[in-house]
């Protein structure tokens, strides 16, 4: 299972969480990575953890202000990027542009979507993976695998119907090892989570509990 920890803009210490992700990754067959804010990418990547960006823009070098250029994100140490998170929503054409920009910079891509219909559209853009996240469950601690398991299974079917090479992750409310196992049983190849680790008093313990049953 791929466990991608999005730090969003939570007021955690990104380097401390990154070190916890790096160290717990050494103890498990699961693949763990962390997505800090853009301003923290370089410091996080220096820990040796697998580092992802939270966003890249559909732009190239040039006259753009306030954007995240895929090449700069890669130079800062990221190996992948989220695109179209529910908290950073994009138009379909711009999602397509960001996937292409990420590919140009050799960044792995996870395109997020709210529901299975959107997952089908996202998969058609040829990312490495898609992540289904019902927005109403984000940050609630109620896992999507429990509250709405059909969403995960339907997302897996929708992606497979478009492109069987595209992996499916699920996210929203995931905070325990049982949640991760349940996601896998529904067909997801990974999970996208944030508050369960970024807001934990002890991120290492939270991560260890996440991967323990895997």
Ligand X SMILES: O=C[C@H](O)COP(=O)(O)O
Cα gap 159→165, rounded to integer Å = 9
**DSSP states of 114-148:** SSHHHHHHHHTT--SEEEE--GGGTTSS--HHHH-
91 is annotated as contributing to ligand binding: no
**Which stretch in 88-96, 132-140, 150-158, 201-209 sits in contact with ligand X by CB under 6 A?**
132-140
Which of 1, 2, 3, 6 binds ligand X (CB under 6 A)? It is: 6
Q: Judged by CB under 6 A, does residue 7 bind ligand X?
A: no
| Shorter beta-carbon distance to ligand X: residue 13 or 60 | 13
Cα gap 8→113, rounded to integer Å = 17
Closest to 161 (Cα-Cα) out of 119, 191, 115: 119
Which of 101, 129, 138, 170 binds ligand X (CB under 6 A)? It is: 138
Q: Judged by CB under 6 A, does residue 133 bind ligand X?
A: yes
67 is an active site residue: no
**Residue 106: C-alpha distances to residues 59, 73, 201 (Å):** 15, 11, 35
85 is an active site residue: yes
Radius of gyration of the chain measured on its C-alpha atoms: 16
Q: Which long-range contacts (CB under 8 A, 24 or more apart) does 61-69 make?
A: 68/38, 69/101
The SS3 call for residue 21 is helix
Binding mask 89-128 for ligand X (x = CB under 6 A): ----------------------------------------
| Shorter beta-carbon distance to ligand X: residue 116 or 196 | 196
Q: Judged by CB under 6 A, does residue 174 bind ligand X?
A: yes
The site for ligand X (CB under 6 A) is made up of 6, 85, 133, 138-139, 171-174, 192-196
Q: Which residues are annotated as part of the binding site?
A: 6-8, 138, 173, 194-195
């Amino acid at each position: 299972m791929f466990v991608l920890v999005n730090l969003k803009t939570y007021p955690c210490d990104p380097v401390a969480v990154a070190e916890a992700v790096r160290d717990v990754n050494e103890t498990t067959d699961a693949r763990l990575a962390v997505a800090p804010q853009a301003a923290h990418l370089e410091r996080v990547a220096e820990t040796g953890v697998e580092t992802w960006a939270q966003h890249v823009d559909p732009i190239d070098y040039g006259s753009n202000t306030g954007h995240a250029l895929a090449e700069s994100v890669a130079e800062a140490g990221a190996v992948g990027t989220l695109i179209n998170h529910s908290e950073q929503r994009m138009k379909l054409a711009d999602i397509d542009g960001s996937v292409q920009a990420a590919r140009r910079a050799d960044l792995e891509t996870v395109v997020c979507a709210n529901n299975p219909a959107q997952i089908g559209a996202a998969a058609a853009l040829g990312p490495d993976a898609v992540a289904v996240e019902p927005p109403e469950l984000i940050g609630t601690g109620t896992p999507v695998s429990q509250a709405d398991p059909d969403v995960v299974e339907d997302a897996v079917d929708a992606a497979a119907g478009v492109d069987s090479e595209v992996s499916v992750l699920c996210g929203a409310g995931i905070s325990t090892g049982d949640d991760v196992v349940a996601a896998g049983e529904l067909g997801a190849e990974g999970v996208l989570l944030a508050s369960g680790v970024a807001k934990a008093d002890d991120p290492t313990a939270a991560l260890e509990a996440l991967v323990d049953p895997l």
